[in-house]
Structures are given as C-alpha cells and as structure tokens.
C-alpha cells in the first residue's frame, strides 16, 4: 500500500499516530523518516499512546540507542540520528533493538535498513510543507500485513491511495 496524508496540525499527526498504533501488527516495525522537526517523535508518542504506553515516558533515545517502554507488551523506540548510534547498532544483539515481543519504532532508520532485509516494514516519511509551519505531509508504505493501518488511516482525510 501507499498512502499520502495531509496533517494540518500536531493534533492531526497525533490522530494519525493513534490509528497507526491501533492497527499495527504486534511485531510491526515502523521506520520514521523526515528532517529535523518533521514530527517523527510526535508520531511515535501517539503510536505509543495507542499501545497504552504512558506518552510522558516517550522521549527520543538521545544517549541510549533504544528506549523500551512497558505496556501490555513492550515497545522499542530507536533513534539513529547520531552516527555513533548507527555504529553501535552493529554491535547489538538483534533482540536488543528489534523487539521480539512487540512493535519497534525507528527514527532516522537509514543505518538499520540493511539489517532489516526481508522484514515486513511500515515506512512513514514526514515532510514539512513550505509556508505552513504546522502542516506536514505523511507518506506511508507497507506490505500486506500493514493493510489494517491503511484502512485505519484512509478514513482520516481520504487523501491518496
Ligand atoms: N502537523 C504537525 N505534525 C507534527 N509535529 C508538528 C506539526 N505541526 C507542528 N509540529 C511541531 O513540530 C515539532 C516536531 O518535533 P518532533 O520532535 O516530533 O520532530 P522529529 O521529526 O522527531 O525531529 P528530530 O529529527 O529532531 O527527532 C513539534 O514541536 C511539534 O509540535
Ligand atoms: Mg525525534
């Protein structure tokens, strides 16, 4: 599937994240792309909220590579913005950064891509919109098992297919 969404405000991004979280397969892997301030962490927070993680506990793992949030099942939050983080990834056991029991949400995922070959991924690209500081465009791509995510989002603004 490929789906494009207009997110008119941070609130709209939260609504999208809640729906993604509700429809995400238990071991879903979400790659979140987009420049600084595009809204990746904002979306992660909302996905986590839907997964019954306390949103206050969701912060970008700046000094750690992976944050693990407790909930009905654990949620892994990975941020590979720093080069050292991307390098450290290679040293980790897979279970330490790809969640064996629940979803894995990865910001700045480029370094992880070669290690995720053959995995079913939900790719979310967020982009700023010129002259509209609170608007974002989200493009989502995911194979068959992410069809439920598409359905959950399609009702939001009828954007794209
Ligand atoms: N439509 C929108 N969607 C998401 N965030 C928005 C939107 N409009 C404004 N914002 C604001 O933009 C900022 C996005 O910050 P956020 O930390 O989510 O970005 P990020 O992509 O994770 O950045 P970084 O690469 O630094 O981790 C927040 O302050 C948020 O309130
Ligand atoms: Mg972030």
Cβ–Cβ < 8 Å for 94, 88 = no
Residue 49 resides in a domain: yes
If one counts every other C-beta atom within 10 angstroms of the C-beta of residue 126, the result is: 23
Domain residues for the domain of 38 are 2-154
| Banded pLDDT at 156 (limits 50, 70, 90) | confident
Residue 61 resides in a domain: yes
Residue 160 resides in a domain: no
Interval 78-121: pLDDT, tens:
999 988 888 899 999 999 999 999 999 999 999 999 999 999 99
Residue 161 resides in a domain: no
Give the model's pLDDT for residue 159: 46
Candidate from 31, 42, 63, 135 with most ligand 1 atoms within 8 A of CB, to mutate: 42
Any idea what DSSP says for residue 28? -
Domain count for the chain, please give it: 1
Residue 108 resides in a domain: yes
Residue 33 resides in a domain: yes
Percent of the chain as helix, strand, coil, to the nearest 5: 35, 25, 35
Which 3 state secondary structure label does DSSP give 119? coil
> CATH code at 32?
3.40.50.300
> In ligand 1, which atom is closest to the CA atom of 136?
1
Tell me the average pLDDT of the chain: 94
Residue with tokens 């959950």: 152
**Which ligand is nearest the CA of 7, by number?**
1
38 lines ligand 1 (CB under 6 A): yes
Quote the Cα angle for 15-25-109, to 5°: 75
Q: How far is the CA of 39 from the centre of ligand 2 (A)?
A: 7
100 lines ligand 1 (CB under 6 A): no
Q: How far is the CA of 93 from the centre of ligand 1 (A)?
A: 30
């Amino acid at each position: 599937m490929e789906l494009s969404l207009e997110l008119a405000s941070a609130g709209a991004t939260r609504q999208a994240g809640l729906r993604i979280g509700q429809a995400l397969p238990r071991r879903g892997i979400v790659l979140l792309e987009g420049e600084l301030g595009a809204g990746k962490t904002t979306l992660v927070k909302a996905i986590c909220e839907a997964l019954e993680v306390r949103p206050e506990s969701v912060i970008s793992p700046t000094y750690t590579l992976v944050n693990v949030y407790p909930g009905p099942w654990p949620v892994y939050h990975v941020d590979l913005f720093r080069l050292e983080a991307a390098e450290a990834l290679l040293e980790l056991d897979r279970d330490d950064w790809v969640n064996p029991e629940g979803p894995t949400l990865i910001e700045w995922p480029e370094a992880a891509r070669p290690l995720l070959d053959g995995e079913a991924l939900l790719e979310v690209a967020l982009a700023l919109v010129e002259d509209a500081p609170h608007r974002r465009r989200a493009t989502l791509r995911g194979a068959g098992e992410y069809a439920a995510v598409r359905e959950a989002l399609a009702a939001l603004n009828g954007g794209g297919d």
